[in-house]
């Protein structure tokens, strides 16, 4: 088992031991017992977000600063990327300037392959989300939040609800959760489901799941997928009524069951407005845990 990898681009090939180690470090960062010592020499990290982000971006920023890194906020609009410079040449540049970690979000699936394969690029690549690929730091913070709540993954029942096929959260979470012993279910519009996911769990209508699962993990609905012909023109109200966590459905949840969402939430679409900050919601806690999960990730690529 390797505890440290040079890059952090995907969790899909992580062993349970590796994942549990990262989760342990994240918890230690959270409770202040990680024993991290601020670097004596300056370490530069750069954040490159080619897609809009509030949580992931600022969460990495806070994590980097808490670890004593010097942060470069790469301004995509004002860089040579606007004159057509490629991601490869951009990272080659930052690497030459002495940057040791690049956190990147890009709309391009698996954008990181050419970077980690390059012999000229030496900095660590941390994936902040790629196209409709992965979002491994989100996966880690989700696992951390579930583990914090229930201690263990085995015997847990977890529903992932929404646009399963297009989510970059659904696949990693389903895969990792089932590997760690949880039982995974999927729900949401059937058109948005992909039978590929059958290997990690079972699709069921939300009303068959809401009363029995321990975790209702709701996924963000992309606005652009609403009111289209392909999707039978259903509206936000329709979505909420048919697939969302309404107040009525939330009433049926088990006493200790929790609500999760990677955010930003479409209030009254994926879940009722009043549930976002309700006692069962762990949505704010997920955001808080994101900082510690990312500190664990940064530690792993820096060592």
Task: Show the binding pattern over residues 21-50: x = contacts its own copies (CB under 8 A), - = does not.
Answer: ---------------------x-x-x--x-
**In this structure, is the dihedral angle defined by the CA atoms of residues 26, 174, 56 and 95, taken in order, positive or negative?**
positive
Question: Is there binding between residue 231 and its own copies (CB under 8 A)?
Answer: no
Shortest Cβ distance from residue 199 to its own copies (Å)? 31
Taking a C-beta distance cutoff of 8 angstroms, is the pair 36, 299 a contact?
yes
Contacting its own copies within 125-184 (CB under 8 A)? none
Contacting its own copies within 74-133 (CB under 8 A)? 74-85, 89-90, 92-94, 96-99, 119-120
Name which position in 223, 235, 237, 241 contacts its own copies (CB under 8 A). Answer: 223
Shortest Cβ distance from residue 241 to its own copies (Å)? 21
Shortest Cβ distance from residue 5 to its own copies (Å)? 24
Spatial distance between the Cα atoms of 27 and 288, rounded to a whole number of angstroms: 12
Query: Which residue, among 261, 84, 270, has the nearest Cα to 192 in the 3D structure?
Result: 270
Taking a C-beta distance cutoff of 8 angstroms, is the pair 67, 299 a contact?
yes
Query: Which residue, among 291, 299, 296, has the nearest Cα to 61 in the 3D structure?
Result: 291
Burial of 229 (0-12, 13-18, 19+ CB in 10 A): exposed
* Sheet strands (E) in 174-268: 183-187, 201-203, 215-218, 258-260
Shortest Cβ distance from residue 270 to its own copies (Å)? 13
Taking a C-beta distance cutoff of 8 angstroms, is the pair 4, 300 a contact?
yes
Name which position in 52, 154, 256, 303 contacts its own copies (CB under 8 A). Answer: 52
Q: By C-beta, is 191 or 223 nearer to its own copies?
A: 223
Residues lying near its own copies in the complex (CB under 8 A) are found at: 42, 44, 46, 49, 52-55, 57-59, 61-62, 65-66, 70, 72-85, 89-90, 92-94, 96-99, 119-120, 223, 263-265, 277, 284-285, 287-288, 290-291
């Amino acid at each position: 088992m390797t505890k440290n990898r040079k890059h952090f681009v995907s969790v899909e090939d992580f062993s349970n031991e590796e994942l549990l180690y990262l989760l342990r470090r994240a918890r230690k960062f959270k409770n202040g017992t990680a024993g991290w010592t601020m670097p004596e020499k300056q370490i530069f990290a750069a954040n490159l977000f080619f897609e809009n982000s509030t949580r992931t971006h600022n969460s990495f920023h806070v994590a980097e600063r808490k670890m004593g890194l010097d942060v470069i906020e790469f301004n995509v609009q004002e860089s040579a990327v606007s004159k057509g410079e490629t991601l490869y040449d951009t990272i080659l540049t930052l690497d030459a300037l002495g940057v040791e970690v690049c956190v990147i979000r890009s709309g391009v699936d698996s954008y990181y392959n050419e970077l980690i394969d390059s012999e000229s690029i030496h900095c660590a690549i941390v994936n902040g989300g790629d196209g409709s690929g992965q979002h491994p730091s989100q996966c880690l913070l989700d696992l951390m939040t579930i583990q914090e709540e229930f201690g263990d993954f085995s015997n847990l029942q977890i529903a992932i609800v929404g646009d399963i096929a297009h989510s970059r959260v659904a696949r990693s979470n389903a895969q990792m959760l089932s590997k760690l012993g949880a039982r995974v279910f999927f729900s949401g519009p059937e058109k948005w489901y992909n039978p590929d996911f059958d290997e990690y769990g079972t699709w069921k209508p939300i009303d068959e799941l809401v009363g029995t699962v321990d975790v209702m993990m709701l996924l963000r609905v992309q606005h652009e997928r609403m009111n289209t012909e392909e999707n039978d023109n259903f509206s936000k109200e329709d979505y909420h009524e048919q697939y969302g966590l309404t107040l009525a459905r939330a009433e049926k949840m088990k006493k200790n069951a929790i609500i999760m969402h990677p955010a930003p939430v479409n209030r009254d679409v994926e879940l009722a407005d009043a549930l976002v900050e309700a006692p069962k919601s762990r949505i704010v806690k997920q955001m808080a845990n994101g900082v510690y999960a990312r500190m664990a990730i940064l530690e792993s690529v820096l060592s």
